[in-house]
Amino acid sequence: MHACLPWLSSTLLASLMACSASAGEVLDRIHRSGELRVCVWPDYYGISYRNPKTRQFTGLDIDLSAEFARELGARLHHVDSSFTSLVDDLLKDRCDIAMFAVGVLPQREKVLRFSLPYLQSDIYAVATRSSRAVRRWEDIDQPGVQVAVQAGTFMEPVMRAALHRASLVVIRPPATREQELEAGRVDVFMTDYPYSRRLLDNAEWARLISPPQPFHVLPYAYALRPGDDEWFARVNRFVTDMRQDGRLESAARRYRLSEIVIRPTTRP
């Protein structure tokens, strides 16, 4: 096994090497099949959210993936993914690109390739309005406090390193952070700005707690398999164009995410 990637299974490592060797094939496959396969996390409110009643997708990256498919002259096919299955889904060729505001983490950069960033978010805390244990950011890392994170998100390693007195609780499907918080099994959960909108829009019982100063701001980008420079360049051209021509800003306004847009410093 590769010394730099000790946590990868031999199967995933073989997939990684195979993908690296097959440069230049993604655009050809899209053109031949007429289909763009986009991995999304269907529970990411404001980004790639499937309404449980209508089964319809909405969100910033749902809109932008449609724009990208249109540019490529391809049908859009969304593939259900998640932060825990992201690497596997890409390396095993279940999708051509992951478009659901993927945090650019060092451990992900070891095995995936990332586009230019287009969003960035800090970590926020969500507690109940009635909570006596957590009312301020300073209350989080205290003895006896149960702090929840979603498995596979960037909040998991960050909070594992940051907490010294509180206890970390990793939530895995089908359980959700909201359910655990409402049931009183945790005192607070950590999330990013897009997901916090879900609580603010739908849960009167929730209180959003912002860090008093930047805590762990992370850029978000699109994730690809390694290799294939032609595909990588095409994705980056799309990111650059949609940042400059207003499509990103427009989508962000629709989903009230303007605060976390990375704006171009110069315009052509």
CATH number at residue 80: 3.40.190.10
The string of DSSP codes covering the chain is --TT-TTS-HHHHHHHHHHHH-TT-HHHHHHHHTEEEEEE-TEETTTEEE-TTT--EESHHHHHHHHHHHHHT-EEEEEE--TTTHHHHHHTTS-SEEEEEEE--HHHHTT-EE----EEE-EEEEEETT-SS-SSGGGSSSTT-EEEEETTSTHHHHHHHH-SSSEEEEE-TTS-HHHHHHTTS-SEEEEEHHHHHHHHHH-TTEEEE--SS----EEEEEEE-S--HHHHHHHHHHHHHHHHSSHHHHHHHHTT-GGGB---S---
Q: Domain boundary residue among 209, 229, 248?
A: 209
Question: What total of structural domains would you count in the chain?
Answer: 2
Q: What's the pLDDT tens digit per position in 86-105?
A: 999 999 999 999 999 999 99
Same-domain status, 74 and 158: no
User: From first to last of its 268 residues, what are the pLDDT tens digits of the chain?
Assistant: 333 344 444 444 444 444 443 446 999 999 999 999 999 999 999 999 999 999 999 999 999 999 999 999 999 999 999 999 999 999 999 999 999 999 999 999 999 999 999 999 999 999 999 999 999 999 999 999 999 999 988 899 999 999 999 999 999 988 999 999 999 999 999 999 998 888 788 888 999 999 999 999 999 999 999 999 999 999 999 999 999 999 999 999 999 999 999 987 644 4
Same-domain status, 16 and 85: yes
Same-domain status, 102 and 224: yes
**The token pair that represents 79 in the structure block:** 């593939």
- Specify the pLDDT at position 115: 98
Same-domain status, 111 and 131: no
Question: Looking at the whole model, is its pTM more than 0.75?
Answer: yes
* CA-closest candidate to residue 103, choices 61, 153, 138: 153
Domain range enclosing 41: 10-120+218-260
Q: Is residue 194 part of a domain?
A: yes
- Specify the pLDDT at position 142: 98
Same-domain status, 237 and 187: no
